[in-house]
Chains A and B, each alone.
Chain A
Amino acid sequence: MKQAQTHGTPMKYGMAIDLDKCTGCGACMVACMAENNIPFKEDESDKRVSITWMRIFKLTNGKSFPDSDICYLPRPCQHCEGHEGHSPCVSVCPATATDYSRETGIVSQIVTRCFGCRYCMGACPYHARYFNWWDPVWPDGMEKYLSPDVSPRMRGVVEKCSFCFHRYQLAKNKAYLDGERRVPEAAYQTACTQACPAGAIVFGDLNNPEHQVHQIVKPDSNNGNRSRNPKAFRLLERTGTNTKVYYLSSREWVRRAGDNYLAHEKTGQLAKLHH
C-alpha cells in the first residue's frame, strides 16, 4: 500500500465562543463532566484541585455600582498550535504523553503515558490542565453511568480537554462504514457545543471554509491565524500560543481582558504577529 502522509488536507479543529451569548449557566461544564467520565469529590470548592476540563470564569469590568458589568468566559483547553505545533505543554512534556496532531490540530493527552511530573501544567498559560491528586471514586452505584468511550483516569496523572476526540473516533468509524473520507461537520461536535442552551459555542474545522467556525472566525494565516472578525480575540494572543479557541465579544472591555494591554493600546490595532 502506498504511503499517505495524511488523510488528505489536514484539519484544524477549533472553536468560536460567543461571549455575548454565553450566560455562564455551566451546562458546558457538566456536559463535559458527563461525557468524559470526570470524577468529583465531596468538596469541589477548591478550584485549584477541582478537575473541570471546561471551566467558566467570571470577568468583571472593574467599575463600581451601577456601572459594573460581568461577562462569563468558558475555558476549554485552547489547543495551542504555537509555532508549527509546538504548543507550550507539548514542548515540555518529557514523557511524550501530550502531543500535537498535524492532522486534526488537537493537543492530545495520553493519561496512561503520563507520569505526573506536571511540567505541562506549569507551561500552560490557561490553567487548562488538571492533576489527579486522588484516585477517582464514584459513589456506590454511580459507576453505572460511566461511558466506555473515555478511559477513566487514575491518581498521579494530568488530564485535560480533548475536544471530545472520542467523538471524532466514533464519527470516523461511521465515515468508513459509509465509504466517506471525511467526517461531516455535524458528525463531530464536542459535548459542550451540543449542550450549550444559548448556542454560544461553534465547533468545527478552521481550515474548512464550509464550516461555520471558519466563516465566523475567518482566520488570517498570514497573520498568525488571527481572526479577521473585529469582535474576535484569543486569550494571551500576543504570547504566540496561537490558540484554536476564539472568543467573540461586542464589548471592548471583554476583548481587553483577553490579553495584557498597555494603557494606550487598543485591541484589534496590534502589529502583525510573527513566528
Chain B
Amino acid sequence: MKVDRRSFLSFVIGGAAGTALSPLPWKLMDDSSIWSQMWPWTPVPPDGEVVYEDSTCTLCPGGCGISVRKVDSRAVKIEGQSGHPVNDGSICILGLSGLQMLYGPTRIKSPMKRIGERGEGKWQKISWDEAFAILTEKLTDIRDKGEAHTVAALAGSDSGTVPALIQRFMAAYGSPNFMRSPSYRDVDELTVKALFGADGRTGFDVENADYVLSFGSGFVDGWGSPVRMFKAASLWKEKDIPVVQVEPRLSNSAAKATRWIPINPGTEADLALGIAAVMVANGIADTGDVSGLSGWENDLLANYEPQKVAQTTGIDAAVIVEVAKGFARADRPLALCGRGKAQTAVSLRETAAVYILNALTGNINQEGGMWAIPEADYIQWPDVATDNLASAGLDQPRLDGAGTGKYTDARYLTNRLADSVNGGGPYPLQVLLVAGANPCHYLPDTQHVKAAFARIPFIVSFSSFQDETAAMADLLMPDHVYLERYEDVPVGAGLVQQMIGLSKPVVSPQFNTRHLGEVLIMTAKAMGGSIADAFPWDDYETCLEETLAEKWDTLMETGVWVRADTDPVAGSIQLAGLDAPAVQAEGDVNSFPLLLVPYDSIQLTSGYMGEAPFMIKAVSDTVIQGTDGFIEINPLTASGVGLGEGDRATLTTPRGEALVRVHLFEGIQPGVLAMVRGLGHTAYDGYLAGKGVNVNELIGPVEDPSTGFDAAWGIRAKLDKA
C-alpha cells in the first residue's frame, strides 16, 4: 500500500468532513468569541450580601454623615447619610472618593524607619514594637536631658479626643509646643474674643438668611461645611434671595450669586467698612447690639465714605450705597467672611469689619444671622500632674512665640514654625511629631518649610499616606484611615449649633496600621511615671466612651449628637480691631506689575488629604493638561504680555518661579492672575504627583501685625512668555 498524494488529500478531506460534523470548530468559534468578549484579566467583582453602614466623614471639617455600601466585607461605595442634620443624603466629590484613599496604593502599609537620605524614599519595614522602642527611647533621652520643650507636635486640628490626647501627651511630657494647621478658625476665634469678649466661634444661619453678602467666601467652593452650604445655595435660589458675592474672580460661588461684584484683591475690609459707613450715615444701622460706636462713628464716616471706598476697592460708589441699603433693609441679612474655603486666615481688620457689619443689622444670635457660640466642651479630663522635668519644659516659651509678647492672644502661630526652625527660634527643635497634617505641601513658601524640615533632627509622621511630610520623616507610624477607626468629630465649620459626629470602623484595618489614639496611650504607658499616669485608659475606645459619657449611646445609635439650645457666648459686641492695619501683598509694583491670587476649588482638597484619582479626573483641562498647571488671566492682560490660550509662560513672584500655561478667562480682573490651590504634589503616586504647580511655593506668609497669623491673600507677580 502506498500513501500517495491522492490518499493524503482524501485523508485530509475526510478529516475536514469529520471535523465539520463534530462540535470542535463550532464550539471553538463560540467559545473564543465569548472569550474575546470578556477577557479573563478584566476583573469580576465578587457578589455578596449588600449592607449599609453609617459613619461620619472626616476628610474635611464639614462633619457629613456617610452611608458606606458594603458587599460582604468590601466597601464599594460611599453615599450621603439620609436624614443627617448636616448633609441629608447628599455628599461632595471628596467624600465620594474616600474608598480610593482607603484601598489606594499610597497608604503607608506598616511602620517604617528611614534608611536612606532624608527625602530619598528608602524605608525599612519595622514592627510596631520596634517603632515604639525607637520613639520612646528618643523621647526619653531628650526629656532626661531636661530638653522636653524641644519636642513639638503638629496636628491637623485641636478639637476632638485624638488631638486632645496629643496635647495631653505634650503636657505630661513637658513641651509647650503643640500646634495645629493654620486655618480661618485662628482669626475667627481671636475676633470673637476681641468683639464678644469670650471664647467661642462664629456660626452662620445661612438657611434662614434673606440677604447674603459674601466677602469672597466660597459658599459653593468648599467654605464652611460644604454640603450644607451647597444645600443653602439651592435654597437661596428657590426662595429668590439676593446673594452678593464680592471677589476679584468670577468663582463658582460668584456665578451662583445673584450679583457678582469684582473688587480689587485685598480690599474686602474697606468695602465692609464702607457699607457700615453708609448704613450708619443713613440711619439704617441697628446699633442695639453694638457698644463703642459713638467713639468711632466720626472716623468711620470720614474715612470710609463711598467715594473713598470706591477708590480703594474699584467698586462704584453708587453700587456700594445700593448694596448697603439692600443689606440693611433686608429682614435677616447675613455677611460671610473667610476667602474661598476659609482654609487660611484673613486679617483681623477684615474679620472684625464683617462681623461688625453683621452686628449693625441687629441680627446677632438671631434667626438668619451670625451667631457666636462656644465650642462643645465635652472633654473633661483631670489635669495632668506634671513632674519636675515636665514643669520645667512647660515653663519655656513656645517655639512659634504664640501667647507671648505681641502675640498674646494667638494660641498657635504655625506659620512661624519654619522661621523658628530656620534660625529665628528661642531654641533648636529636636523632634517633630506630625499627625493629620501635611505642612510640606500646604504651608506658604513651601520650599522654606521643606528647608526647615530638613534641619529638624528627628521627624515622626503618623500620616496614613505617603505625603510630602511623611517623605521628610525618619519614622513612620501610620494611623488607620477614618473608615477603619472610631473617632469623635466635633463639627464647627459655621454651624449655629454644637454638633459631634462619630466616625466608626466600617471595614477592618487593611494594613498594619494603628489608631493614633492607641499609639499615644501606649507610648505614654511605655514612658512610665507621670506620663503614664496621665493616660489611665486601657485603650482608645475606652477613653472615647468614657469621655463622651452620656453622649456615647446617642452617637452609637444615630451617629450624631446635636445640642439645639446652645447658648451664645454673648449677645452684643464691643467695637475692636478696626484700627488694625490692612495686609498688603508682598513685592514691589515696578518689578512685579501683576497680582497672583490663589483660589480654592471643591475638586481639589488643598488640605491634608491628597486628591484621589477620581477627583483629578473631574478637574477641567483648563486647570491641568498632562503635568502642566494653568493660571487664569484676563485676555487683555494676556495680550499685553503677548500670550494666547494655552501658551507657556514663566510666572515669577518674590518667592519663586514656575513654568505655567495660561487660560484666558473673562471672569478675572485685568492685572490679576489666579492659580488653584492644592496641585503640584511631589509625593503620592503618578495619579497625583507632578501635576500642576503648588501655588504655596510662589506665595510667602504675610504676617498680620495684629494677630501674628499669616493673612496673605496674594502676592505681586510677573509673567513672561516662555
Which of B76, B105, B260, B625 is A66 in contact with, Cβ under 8 Å? B260
- Which residue of chain B is the closest to A20 with respect to CB atoms? B237
Q: Is B8 an interface residue (CB 8 A)?
A: no
- Which residue of chain B is the closest to A64 with respect to CB atoms? B666
A30→B237 contact, CB < 8 A = no
On chain A, the residues within 8 Å of B44 by CB distance are 151-152
CB distance from B520 to the nearest CB of A (A): 28
Q: How many residues of B contact A (CB 8 A)?
A: 77
Interface-lining segment among A2-10, A177-185, A192-200: A192-200
A148→B666 contact, CB < 8 A = no
Give Cα distance in the complex from A71 to B75, angstroms.
Answer: 35
Give Cα distance in the complex from A91 to B234, angstroms.
Answer: 39
- Name the interface residues of B376-424: CB closer than 8 Å to any CB of A: none
Q: Are A65 and B48 CB-contacts (below 8 A) given A34-B96, A140-B105, A197-B226? A: no
A154→B234 contact, CB < 8 A = no
Interface-lining segment among A35-43, A100-108, A263-271: A35-43
**Which residues of B pack against A, CB within 8 Å?**
37-39, 41-48, 69, 71, 74-80, 87, 89-93, 96-97, 99-100, 102-105, 107, 220, 226-227, 230-231, 233-234, 237, 250, 252, 255-256, 260, 262, 510, 602-603, 613-622, 624-626, 634-636, 665-670, 685-687
Give Cα distance in the complex from A153 to B45, angstroms.
Answer: 12
Give Cα distance in the complex from A196 to B93, angstroms.
Answer: 9
On chain B, the residues within 8 Å of A25 by CB distance are 92-93, 220, 230, 252, 602-603
On chain B, the residues within 8 Å of A143 by CB distance are 43, 45
Interface-lining segment among A45-53, A75-83, A203-211: A45-53
On chain A, the residues within 8 Å of B602 by CB distance are 23, 25-26
Q: How many residues of A contact B (CB 8 A)?
A: 63
Which of B76, B233, B614 is A30 in contact with, Cβ under 8 Å? B614
A154→B42 contact, CB < 8 A = yes
Most chain B beta-carbon contacts within 10 A, residue among A25, A33, A141, A151: A25
Most chain A beta-carbon contacts within 10 A, residue among B510, B618, B667: B618
CB distance from B40 to the nearest CB of A (A): 10
Give Cα distance in the complex from A197 to B65, angstroms.
Answer: 13
B99→A29 contact, CB < 8 A = no
Interface-lining segment among A131-139, A217-225, A238-246: A131-139
- Which residue of chain A is the closest to B687 with respect to CB atoms? A42
A-B contact pairs, 16 of them (CB 8 A): A30-B97, A31-B96, A40-B613, A52-B618, A60-B666, A64-B635, A65-B669, A68-B666, A70-B667, A146-B45, A148-B71, A152-B44, A194-B79, A197-B90, A198-B230, A200-B234
Which of B46, B614, B615 is A148 in contact with, Cβ under 8 Å? B46
On chain A, the residues within 8 Å of B93 by CB distance are 25-27, 29-30
Give Cα distance in the complex from A33 to B613, angstroms.
Answer: 11
CB distance from A40 to the nearest CB of B (A): 5
Give Cα distance in the complex from A142 to B107, angstroms.
Answer: 11
Q: Quick one: CB contact mask for A61-104 with B, threshold 8 Å, 1 for yes?
A: 00111101111100000000000000000000000000000000
- Which residue of chain B is the closest to A114 with respect to CB atoms? B37
On chain A, the residues within 8 Å of B71 by CB distance are 147-148
A145→B76 contact, CB < 8 A = yes
Give Cα distance in the complex from A199 to B88, angstroms.
Answer: 11
CB distance from B565 to the nearest CB of A (A): 28
CB distance from B32 to the nearest CB of A (A): 14
Give Cα distance in the complex from A34 to B615, angstroms.
Answer: 11
Q: Is A275 an interface residue (CB 8 A)?
A: no
A65→B100 contact, CB < 8 A = no
B77→A34 contact, CB < 8 A = yes
CB distance from A215 to the nearest CB of B (A): 15
Which of B78, B233, B625, B668 is A198 in contact with, Cβ under 8 Å? B233
A145→B43 contact, CB < 8 A = no
B104→A23 contact, CB < 8 A = no
A26→B613 contact, CB < 8 A = no
On chain B, the residues within 8 Å of A200 by CB distance are 234
- Which residue of chain A is the closest to B625 with respect to CB atoms? A45
Give Cα distance in the complex from A97 to B687, angstroms.
Answer: 32
A34→B48 contact, CB < 8 A = no
B77→A66 contact, CB < 8 A = no
Give Cα distance in the complex from A172 to B558, angstroms.
Answer: 29
Which of B77, B91, B621 is A145 in contact with, Cβ under 8 Å? B77
On chain A, the residues within 8 Å of B510 by CB distance are 141
CB distance from B200 to the nearest CB of A (A): 28
A198→B97 contact, CB < 8 A = no
CB distance from B263 to the nearest CB of A (A): 10
CB distance from B319 to the nearest CB of A (A): 11
B39→A135 contact, CB < 8 A = yes
B615→A66 contact, CB < 8 A = no
8 extra interchain contacts, Cβ-Cβ under 8 A, other than A30-B614, A72-B252, A199-B90?
A: A33-B617, A58-B620, A65-B669, A140-B105, A148-B47, A154-B38, A198-B230, A199-B234
Most chain A beta-carbon contacts within 10 A, residue among B37, B619, B668: B37
Q: Is A274 an interface residue (CB 8 A)?
A: no
